[in-house]
Amino acid sequence: MRVYFTFEPRPDLREPLVAEFPEVDFVFEKGISEEQLRAADILVTYGEDLTDQLIEVAERLQWIFVASAGMEKMPAEAIAARNIYVSNVRGIHKKPMTESVLAHILALKRGLPAIYEQQSRTEWNKRLQLTELNGSKALILGPGAIGQEIGRLLQAFGVHTIGINNSGTASSHMNETYPITELIHHLPKADIIISILPSTDKTRYLLDESYFEAMKDSAIFLNFGRGDLVAESVLIDALQKNKIAHAVLDVFEEEPLSEKSPLWQLSNATISPHISSHSSRYVERSLAIFKPSLQAWLKGERELENEVDILRGY
Amino acid sequence: MRVYFTFEPRPDLREPLVAEFPEVDFVFEKGISEEQLRAADILVTYGEDLTDQLIEVAERLQWIFVASAGMEKMPAEAIAARNIYVSNVRGIHKKPMTESVLAHILALKRGLPAIYEQQSRTEWNKRLQLTELNGSKALILGPGAIGQEIGRLLQAFGVHTIGINNSGTASSHMNETYPITELIHHLPKADIIISILPSTDKTRYLLDESYFEAMKDSAIFLNFGRGDLVAESVLIDALQKNKIAHAVLDVFEEEPLSEKSPLWQLSNATISPHISSHSSRYVERSLAIFKPSLQAWLKGERELENEVDILRGY
């Protein structure tokens, strides 16, 4: 059994893996090679290095483990035609993204940007406007796995959580849940509005001016989903007119954000370069999902964690 | 019944208080006046405006509600001699301080200082070293009310908490607890070390060089207790030699921190000007403690929340 990684985990992660599966022949090589692919039974990839032609070369290949949640760059039809099993690391972003969301919210409530700035000026000044997270209300747009984890931690901080999803059916770690069609009616009560919505026909440019009008002027808006939830011009206008207190943006209509965008200069905007899910522990987490799957695969099981219907894309 | 406040709560806080107690005659005046003091049955103060002589003037005074946790500036013997009841707002710092501690830890793990700096340079750069809080180990020096609240939230983030107190007896929200005499043996396993220790004979200059030697070079050290836990020179040496990864300091050997201190310039130090307990909701919280106490007092009860033995100081 040959397992071919098209990336190289650090020795401290690679060695225990090799030791745990003495019956498996592992190859770790950065970048994809036809020669290695030809001999591989299982392929472990970030999912951006495959083509129709490479799938043809991979004649022994039975399972592709994609160490990514995005399937957009996979040659789906070629894989489906060959009936190659695909699984991925869905959910891997949950913890790092949630920690980023909480970090940004707490940093704003507890004055960290001002503390850092004062330090850079060697300035001891106790007159900062600090406030508290506990006792506030948060609206979570998209209470899926990530949204629920955000909800769980916000509730631990004493925050009342309101989930907004398609159906309005109750969702874990949400004190209340409403359908997205009613979103605008719930905005006026939210101190914090967090979106982790994907880009769909229902969400694209959903937040027009009227939504920012409906928000509290003290509200913090965080977009960690997709940039096309709101037009950049609408966001800039809302921030310039102080319709809300602050926006933390990890995603943008166009990425990278143009150097010319006025967003960079707004003191009530935080620009995070789409890194909220990044983590030095990414490969460690991927292997923690891969190992039990490989155990199961070797026993002949063919229902692995995070199975992907490659034609559907998830 | 006359209640005299030597500070003025905002109208939105003051008015509901007055409305709730129609039988009480309230006076709100910034700064202390002998005339008002002479007529007061109950005094509400931040505890820094009293003297022996003023206590003598306050002939009707039966209860002092101190909207502070520090009793250092109170004329203790004069108050005790008159047998005036004292209560305070002990515990009021718990939530804001805990949120500050979590804010600083999460900000460092999730790269917020670098994100803010990049924005100031209009720089889109995804190559930041972000890591995660979950799965780490935290040592909490002083697991009292604040330390336990920090422990509770760290545990919600999936952190293993180790409490260090005088006795080593188990403490809430701590996975393990050890006596402070054994502290040095537990430092090597901690990713995060948080002190909220008071200044006592046992804690003063406790953390000498050997303690920083014992810490992981990847450790984050947070001092939110008292500055004399560690000499500034020891801290500077540890940071300059990268014996630890970062220090977040809210308290200092001398406050304000001298402009000449090298700490200001260290990229692995965060200087917070002793504001981690500050909150725009301080008066709101104080009144939330005062109101039920006043209700009880009016009914003749004399065992109120946060009673203070003024001679002991707590």
Nearest-CA distance from B11 to chain A in Å?
19
**What are the residue boundaries of the structural domains of chain B, listed by start?**
2-92+280-298, 94-271
Mean pLDDT of A204-215: 98
What per-residue confidence (pLDDT) applies to B274?
A: 97
Q: Which residues pair with A246 in a beta bridge?
A: A220
**What amino acid occupies position B307?**
E
- What ipTM goes with this model? 0.90
Q: Do A257 and B153 touch (CB under 8 A)?
A: no
Give the rounded percent of residues in chain B with a pLDDT score beyond 70: 100
Inter-CA distances, A169 with A162, A185, A274, B252, Å: 12, 17, 30, 51
Nearest-CA distance from B187 to chain A in Å?
23
d(CA A51, CA A78): 8
Mean pLDDT of B89-114: 96
* A69: confidence class by pLDDT, cuts 50, 70, 90: confident
- Does any CB of chain A come closer than 8 Å to the CB of residue B119? yes
Interval B63-85: pLDDT, tens: 999 998 778 899 999 999 999 99
Q: Which segments of A64-134 does DSSP mark as H helices, in order?
A: 76-81, 94-109, 112-120
d(CA A298, CA A308): 19
| B94-271 has the same fold as B2-92+280-298 | yes
Q: Do A106 and B111 touch (CB under 8 A)?
A: no
User: In b/e form, how buried is each residue of A27-57, taking b as 16+ CB within 10 angstroms?
Assistant: ebeeebeeebbeebbbbbbbbeebeeebbeb
Q: Do A132 and B278 touch (CB under 8 A)?
A: no
What per-residue confidence (pLDDT) applies to A271?
A: 98
* Closest residue to A279, CB basis, from B107, B130, B279: B130
| B272 vs A contacts (CB less than 8 Å) | 115
Q: Which residues pair with B269 in a beta bridge?
A: B247
Q: What radius of gyration do chain A's Cα atoms show?
A: 23
Q: Which of residues 32-71 of A touch B (CB under 8 A)?
A: none
d(CA B154, CA B148): 10
* Closest residue to B103, CB basis, from A107, A126, A273: A107
Closest Cα partner for B100 from B236, B196, B210?
B196
Q: Which residues pair with A66 in a beta bridge?
A: A45, A88
Mean pLDDT of B157-168: 96
Q: Chains A, B: CB contacts under 8 A, how many? A: 144
- Which of B122, B191, B255, B285 to mutate to test binding with chain A, by most A CBs within 10 Å of its CB? B122
DSSP B91-140: TTTHHHHHHHHHHHHHHHHTTHHHHHHHHHTT----------STT-EEEE
Q: Which of residues 271-310 of B touch A (CB under 8 A)?
A: 271-276, 278-281
* Closest residue to A153, CB basis, from B100, B131, B157: B157
Contact yes or no for B109/B130 (Cβ under 8 A): yes
Closest Cα partner for A128 from A116, A140, A139?
A116
Is pLDDT above 90 for A298?
Answer: yes
* Closest residue to A270, CB basis, from B119, B256, B275: B119
Beta carbons within 8 Å of B22's beta carbon, 6+ residues apart: none
Q: Which segments of A157-246 does DSSP mark as H helices, in order?
A: 183-186, 209-214, 232-240
Is pLDDT above 90 for A313?
Answer: no
Give the alpha-carbon dihedral of B59, B64, B70, B75, to 10 degrees: 10
- Which of A92, A93, A97, A112 to mutate to test binding with chain B, by most B CBs within 10 Å of its CB? A112
Q: Do A134 and B99 touch (CB under 8 A)?
A: yes
| B107 vs A contacts (CB less than 8 Å) | 103, 106-107, 112
What per-residue confidence (pLDDT) applies to B198?
A: 87
Is pLDDT above 80 for A70?
Answer: no
Inter-CA distances, A271 with A115, A214, A264, A267, B210, Å: 18, 23, 7, 10, 41
What per-residue confidence (pLDDT) applies to A148?
A: 97
Q: Is B184 exposed, middle or buried (0-12, 13-18, 19+ CB in 10 A)?
A: middle
Q: Which of A68-72, A103-107, A164-168, B194-198 has the lowest mean pLDDT?
A: A68-72
Beta carbons within 8 Å of B275's beta carbon, 6+ residues apart: A111, A115, A126, A128, A130, B250
Give the rounded percent of residues in chain A with a pLDDT score beyond 90: 94
DSSP B24-79: SEEEE-SS--HHHHHH-SEEEE-SSS--HHHHHH-TT--EEEESSS--TTS-HHHH
Q: Do A99 and B274 touch (CB under 8 A)?
A: no
Q: Is B44 exposed, middle or buried (0-12, 13-18, 19+ CB in 10 A)?
A: buried
Q: Do B272 and A115 touch (CB under 8 A)?
A: yes
Q: Do B130 and A280 touch (CB under 8 A)?
A: yes
What per-residue confidence (pLDDT) applies to A72?
A: 84
Q: In this structure, which topology does domain B2-92+280-298 adopt according to CATH? A: Rossmann fold (3.40.50)
Inter-CA distances, B227 with A121, B129, B148, B150, B273, Å: 22, 30, 21, 19, 12
Interval B16-29: pLDDT, tens: 999 999 999 999 99
Mean pLDDT of A49-60: 96
Mapped onto helix, strand or coil, the DSSP state of residue B262 is helix
- Which of B100, B224, B249, B268 to mutate to test binding with chain A, by most A CBs within 10 Å of its CB? B100
Contact yes or no for B128/A278 (Cβ under 8 A): yes
* Domain A94-271 CATH superfamily: NAD(P)-binding Rossmann-like Domain (3.40.50.720)
Q: Which residues pair with B65 in a beta bridge?
A: B44, B87
Edge-to-edge strand order for the sheet containing A85-88? Answer: A25-28, A2-5, A42-45, A63-66, A85-88
* A71: confidence class by pLDDT, cuts 50, 70, 90: confident
- Which of B119, B246, B266 to mutate to test binding with chain A, by most A CBs within 10 Å of its CB? B119
Interval B244-294: pLDDT, tens: 999 999 999 999 999 999 999 999 999 999 999 999 999 999 999 999 999
Nearest-CA distance from B36 to chain A in Å?
30
Q: Do B156 and A152 touch (CB under 8 A)?
A: yes
- Does any CB of chain B come closer than 8 Å to the CB of residue A96? yes
Mean pLDDT of B82-101: 95
Please, how many CA atoms are within 13 Å of residue B150, restricted to the half-sphere of its CB? 33
Closest Cα partner for B18 from B277, B294, B301?
B294
DSSP state of A220: E
* Closest residue to B280, CB basis, from A115, A130, A276: A130
What per-residue confidence (pLDDT) applies to B71?
A: 85
- Does any CB of chain B come closer than 8 Å to the CB of residue A158? yes
Closest Cα partner for A258 from A229, A233, A293?
A233
Mean pLDDT of B82-97: 94
Rounded to the nearest integer, the mean pLDDT of chain B is: 96
| B124 vs A contacts (CB less than 8 Å) | 256-257, 259, 271, 273
What per-residue confidence (pLDDT) applies to A312?
A: 87
Mean pLDDT of A145-152: 96
